[in-house]
A and B are shown apart, each in its own frame.
Chain A
Amino acid sequence: MASPSSSLALISTSTLISQGAEAKVYKAHLSAAPSDPPVLLKHRFRKGYRHPTLDASLTRGRVAGEARALLKCLRAGVNVPGIRMVDAAEGVLAIDWITGNSVRKLLPGGADEDEDTGEDEDESEADAADALQEYDISVDVLMQLIGQEIAKMHLADVIHGDLTTSNMMLRHPASFTSRHPTLRTELVLIDFGLSYHSNLVEDKAVDLYVLERAFSSTHPDSEPLFASVLKAYEQRLGKEWAAIGRRLDEVRLRGRKRSMVG
């Protein structure tokens, strides 16, 4: 190693956005050029509880896996952030900064994550409706976009692994130029940290089931919402839907885990 890590130097000048058990997320600029757009840095920091050699190889593998899933999605036309920099040795992945909001925050029930719900529930629903208005999109169209994007991803045999309304964003209309004739926003799938490649009906059905549970636990009265997600998914998937739909019914009865063994 010729010098202390440049990626750590970059992180030291970046703004921390959030931290989880696996990684910290920052907003950063890769160069000092004024025209340089911001990027989102995901740093899988060293885990002191793991042997250093194992830690390095796990981190490298996960950064590589996430980057490959993103590229696969990009090639298949799924809306995901583009990759801007990979430093696998240091566990850093830089992707396009998306200006906008998570779908969770734009739907009723998602905005008041930390607050006590109950008395101000009406207010938060009104806030969510206002927020969607800013994106010039109806709840129903939003659900269709979600179904279409997941369908495109599954057609490319990418399983997200953690589909929730927090892991979907709407681009703010002011932040980009939409080439769509009627829509001024775009739905973007994010956080491919748990994604993997699979063409199995089971894995796709479980991916959908995880999202269904996320909807029902986060957003009140979400059944009609998820139904229109599934409808758009079905339309886009075509003949592959029948098997996945059948399996989804089975998964609903037994839960996410296929077997009770192991």
Chain B
Amino acid sequence: MMQSYQLPQFPPDFSCVHAALYIDVSDADLLRKRLITASTAEGLTGARERDAVNFAFIEARLITSADHLRTAIYQAVLAAAQGGLRTKTVHSEIIWALNPTNNITEAMRRYGVSDTTSALVVVRIAGPELLPASVEADMDAVVTGTKASFAALHDLTDWPAVKKYYKLGNEAGIRDAKDDPEREHAVVDHIVVSSVAMKSVMA
């Protein structure tokens, strides 16, 4: 169920993307604590622990489509390849790219893992030497949940929350589509994907 694809135009270290969707995640609170501890742990244990959680953990209910996720990944990898990261790692940059504002803490709180998270998207950016099977095993070791197809994202999406964060409540494009939820979701997805793609030149 984990998806892997290549971005051949980037330097080898950033050229492989691995992503999986987990539903029925039961221990998000423990995972969140583990991430916080790992980030400050010292010595060899700290390094090993950071390596074990070296992923982007993303709140799946705020992802509108696989395109949305891919676009954020692309902009994060682009920033990393250009030496232009605004956050510490390419993984945190993905989460930053998903949030419409420039506030990093807000991005982590909204789009990162929280105690109430029940569906997670886990992403790893790596070089070609890391085999997909090994990445998947590492993901399975950190997350307790059921892997699902990315097609399931659409039904997990919390549309009111997405509309609120992107301030789409009163836009003419959304109002035109309000009688047809499917169409409204497609319009919201379209706007959100474009917003993520152009965040670097937003204001």
Contacts and interface: CB of A to CB of B under 8 A. Distances in A.
Interface of A: 1-3, 5-7, 9-10, 13, 30-33, 36, 60, 63-64, 67-68, 70-71, 74-78, 82-89, 94, 152, 155-156, 179
A75 B173 contact: yes
13 contacts: A30-B70, A32-B7, A74-B190, A75-B191, A77-B171, A77-B174, A78-B173, A82-B190, A86-B75, A94-B197, A152-B172, A155-B172, A179-B180
Interface string B1-22: 0010111111100000100000
Nearest to B194: A83
Contact of A71 (B71, B183, B194): B194
A187 to B, nearest CB: 15
Nearest to A1: B83
Nearest to A179: B183
A2 B11 contact: yes
A150 to B, nearest CB: 14
B interface residue count range (under 10 / 10 to 19 / 20 to 34 / 35 or more): 35 or more
Contact of B198 (A3, A60, A77, A86): A86
A85 B194 contact: no
Given A31-B70, A63-B201, A179-B180, A85 B78 contact: yes
Nearest to A84: B197
B176 A77 contact: yes
Contacts of A86: 75, 197-198, 200-201
Given A6-B9, A68-B198, 12 more contacts: A9-B8, A30-B7, A30-B74, A32-B7, A74-B191, A75-B173, A76-B171, A77-B176, A78-B173, A85-B71, A179-B182, A179-B183
B82 interface: yes
Given A30-B74, A82-B190, A85-B75, A76 B173 contact: yes
Nearest to B201: A64
Contact of A87 (B70, B78, B182): B78
Contact of A33 (B5, B187, B198): B5
A88 B201 contact: yes
B168 interface: yes
B148 interface: no
